[in-house]
Amino acid sequence: MPRPIIIAVITAAVIGVSSNACTRERGSPEAAPIVASASEKGCTADAQCPQDFCDRSTCQVPLGVYGRACKPVPRTPEGPRDGKLNVCGAYLSLDGRCRSCQSDEQCRSELGAPRCSKLEGEPGFRCGNPSP
């Protein structure tokens, strides 16, 4: 096959695969988020887990920001961490990883967010103001 045809075939395959995940309609059975399932194994430290990530005493699979390696950012003069430098989004930087929150108070003191809650379709518990 001539080189331009090979490039065109590869490009079409990549576009077809990547656009499939982006065009699913919300609420369709195919729209379920790709969330790796957690192990049922209990843990107290990352090293005890197959994916080296222990969150809320259960082995979890890092996904996107959740479980990412990080460093705590400095606090603002008002007290919470500087959100502009936070790489964990709604998760907390704890023990070198972006992890779940444990309480509303922890979210208020660390990020200035009102609540710690589970967001449907997302891994772990996150800080924020969930919609009713």
CA–CA–CA angle 87, 30, 130 (5° rounding)? 45
Q: What local confidence, expressed as pLDDT, does residue 57 receive?
A: 96
The one-digit pLDDT tens for each residue of the chain (132 residues) are: 454 444 443 444 333 333 322 222 333 333 333 344 556 689 999 999 999 999 999 999 999 999 999 998 998 898 888 888 899 999 999 999 999 999 999 999 999 999 999 999 999 999 999 876
Secondary structure letter of residue 130 according to DSSP: -
Q: What local confidence, expressed as pLDDT, does residue 25 receive?
A: 34
- Taking alpha carbons only, the member of 80, 81, 62 closest to residue 123 is 62
Q: What local confidence, expressed as pLDDT, does residue 130 receive?
A: 81
Q: Tell me the residue ranges of DSSP E strands in 38-84.
A: 54-55, 58-59
CA–CA–CA angle 59, 40, 107 (5° rounding)? 50
Q: What local confidence, expressed as pLDDT, does residue 41 receive?
A: 85
CA–CA–CA angle 59, 64, 66 (5° rounding)? 45
User: How many whole angstroms separate alpha carbon 24 and alpha carbon 33?
Assistant: 10
Q: What local confidence, expressed as pLDDT, does residue 39 receive?
A: 60
pTM score of the predicted model = 0.68
